[in-house]
Chains A and B, each alone.
Chain A
Amino acid sequence: MQSTLSESTKQQIALICRAAQLILENGGETYRVEETALRMAKGFGLKNVNIAAFPTSIFVEVDGHMRVTRINRRGTNTTRLERTNSVSRSVERGEMTAQQAQAELEAIAALPGLPLWVQIAASGLTAASFSLLFGGRLSAFVVSFLIGMLVQLVQPLFSNMEMGALFGCFAGGAITALLAQASSPLLPAGSVNAVIAGGIMPLLTGLLMTTAMRDTMYGDLVSGVTRAAEALLLAASVALGVYVGLEIAAMMGGMLL
């Protein structure tokens, strides 16, 4: 079928795809992606809009004109979620033209993350705080602060690799277990586990699993199952990392004694 849509309509469809892509890439739920896209379509005055979003791809169709966007990168950046959401609301209320929306969406996509040292400090704080929740005390707090910082420090090494998230989790788990075992003489009995549990928390929050469950409950069954699989795979690579770390620590301990 020959598309009869005007250029400006095509641009609007492209913008809807871009906004949907930003939400999916940065950790929004699937129903929120479709809600944002429909809101923008309403603002542009488009009728007969169909949207299907999955964690890996988005399909937008308007009067026989179809656009598919592939999602390759998935993370969580709630600042981007918030700003994309407010763009879609401005478009809905007619306060923003397509050109302004495009400029704003590109600005959102280019937002820099936090500086590396803040990320490292935040990761240390997370690890240390969670070691308290898992029964650690002051000594565990200090040790897991250092481990948490180191785990975050090595993450940029993996970010551009294929399957980078899996390797990052594996390395993080291994580093945490090795260092926790190595510092066990400094810790009271039972604190090694609290240090390991705290150290892996920056990598593994269970948020993915909760989002998966929410997606399933909102009726986005495919998204829910896909996200659950991703969450299990990441947790498995952390667990494997910890296991390898513990084994190496045991072997080295055997050699030293």
Chain B
Amino acid sequence: MIGELFIGAVGAFGGTVGLSLLLNAPPRSILPASLTGMLGQLVYMILRLHMGQSLIASYFFATVTVAVICEICARVMRMPSTIFLLSALIPLVPGYSFYAMLLALVQDNGMQAARCGMEAVQVVAAIAVGSAVTSVVFRAMMMRRLRRAEKIQ
């Protein structure tokens, strides 16, 4: 189990560093984003493979973990949270499932295409809801803090 998680962590970290470079991420955002991406992958693997949670629940909670850390990084380092999110979500987003669906379609394998496509849509929905919920909650909290600051003045 530990070995599997270790390989997953190395893969997620390396993949996030590589893609952050390809996305021209600001250099000082790359290390925090990659560590966050690695953590997200670990949360997903533990929930999915070792605690037997459902696909959607695993991706949802992994995304919430990533998004919370990205929002905090964004506040601390004064950059838009999207910069961190775009990089850190990379190990989770299901590019492979979409490709697998279309490859199955090309190979005239309808059952396989439907299965991969369904999985891809489920995962994308879980990730999109997870990241949107987190950023909406954070924005609401910021608004409340701003309003309180105004009252004090």
Contacts and interface: CB of A to CB of B under 8 A. Distances in A.
Contacts of A207: 86, 89-90, 93, 95
Interface string A117-147: 0110011111111111110010000000000
A134 B10 CA distance: 12
Nearest to B21: A122
A202 interface: yes
Interface residues of A, number: 55
Contacts of A38: none
B60 interface: no
Interface stretch (A6-14, A48-56, A78-86): A78-86
Contacts of B13: 129
Contact of B25 (A78, A124, A240): A78
A231 interface: yes
B129 interface: yes
A38 to B, nearest CB: 15
B14 A128 contact: yes
B110 to A, nearest CB: 15
A206 B122 CA distance: 13
B109 to A, nearest CB: 11
User: Which interface residue of A122, A134, A239 has the most chain B CB atoms within 10 A?
Assistant: A239
A34 interface: no
B14 A129 contact: yes
Contacts of A132: 7-8, 10-11, 14
Interface string B76-118: 0001101100110111011111110111011100000000000
A239 B116 CA distance: 13
A210 B120 CA distance: 11
